[in-house]
Structure 1
Amino acid sequence: MKNYPDDYYQFQNLQEDQMSFDQVFKHIVQFMQSHPNGNYRLMVGTDSQVHQKNTVFITGIVIQNKGNGVWACIRKVVIPRKMIHLKEKISYEMSLSEEIVSLFTEERKKQLTNIVLPYLYHGATFTMEGHIDIGAEKKNKTRKFVKEMMTRMESIGVEPKIKPNALVASSYANRYTK
């Protein structure tokens, strides 16, 4: 991975624009510290939409405390051409997700785990998931890519989720691709 300056990655949500990844990470830490005994799922996923003159990719980062709310943001990447080949589009979505997951270094993941660590015996949890906008159903054109994409996600140490369980890619990010 290239070594970009902190402000290379720009994220936004309904409250803030132009957040750096460090700012995103601080929001996640603060969200988890507010209830350190929670059940946390950190989810990253990308979806895309082909438009007339470009293809819009949205990567979502969502931290969920099951039953107690979420904090989320997106990163938008616009490719100035129509990506019409399904494999190219899915592979690029996956690359964008992998890039964001890689920003959660071992040190950062340890920092998040350490928030819930004192509460593990009281039921606190922390997991990290990669949501992939593909499905395994027979009618789904993306089913032939499931094994490859899930293996890619597993290889970077993240639990892969596909449709219907890939909510960050298929629902949250999807909303912002239009």
Structure 2
Amino acid sequence: MKYDVERDFLFQNSQERNMNFEEAFNRIIKFMNLDRSGNFRLMIGTDSQVHDRYTRFITGIVILNEGKGAWACIRKVVIPRKMKMLHERISKETSLTEEIVSMFTEERKNTMIDIVLPNLYRGASFTMEGHLDIGAGNRNKTRVFVEEMVKRIESMGIEPKIKPNSFVASCYANRFTK
């Protein structure tokens, strides 16, 4: 499947709508440049909600400067059918997260790292995480998918997070799936 990046990858937040990925990335860079010695976590995660005639997926991108604020946006994808099978939905959530992660090319990651690099001695840091809306608890239906989805995120070279530590998927993105 071929994507039209300008049409298929539009992001929004409470201040801006219809940002393409380059515009969203530039907002992340602008945010990081506000405090070049910050402790930054770039977190990407997706959640979904099945509705009567469709399933809505929301992928959140959050750049957090620990203790000093965040900038965030979402991407919405609607599949025009009820996706009732849990494995299919969790796999699609992970795929949508992987799509966005892959847009952070080595060049873009290096741009972000270069912001904090001169300030490492001051405690600056940068990490990248993939947040999965799954949990390993005995009562969690998604526990059987944890190993598979975690390996997928790890294979992309970023740190996977599951519940209760995957708040971009389970809290931020979840707010917009309703």
Give your verdict on TM over 0.5: yes
Residues paired across the two proteins, number: 178
Q: Is the 8 A contact 2:56 2:177 kept in 1?
A: yes
Where does the alignment leave 5 or more consecutive residues of structure 1 unmatched? none
Q: CA deviation at 1:3?
A: 6.1
- The 5-angstrom pairing of residues 12-161 of structure 1 reads 12-161=12-161
Q: Matched residue of 2:141: which SS?
A: coil
* Counterparts in 2 of 1:151 and 1:138: CA distance versus 1, 3 Å: same
Residue 166 of structure 1: aligned partner: 166
Q: Is the 8 A contact 2:129 2:161 kept in 1?
A: yes
* Counterparts in 2 of 1:69 and 1:109: CA distance versus 1, 3 Å: same
Q: Is the 8 A contact 1:9 1:21 kept in 2?
A: yes
- Give the letter aligned to residue 125 of structure 2: T
Q: Is the 8 A contact 1:43 1:131 kept in 2?
A: yes
Q: Is the 8 A contact 1:53 1:80 kept in 2?
A: yes
TM-score (norm 2): 0.98
TM-score (norm 1): 0.98
Q: Distance in 1 between matches of 2:79 and 2:149?
A: 21
- Give the letter aligned to residue 15 of structure 1: Q
**Moved runs in structure 1, 4+ residues, more than 2 A?**
1-8
Residue identity (%): 63
Q: Distance in 2 between matches of 1:16 and 1:40?
A: 22
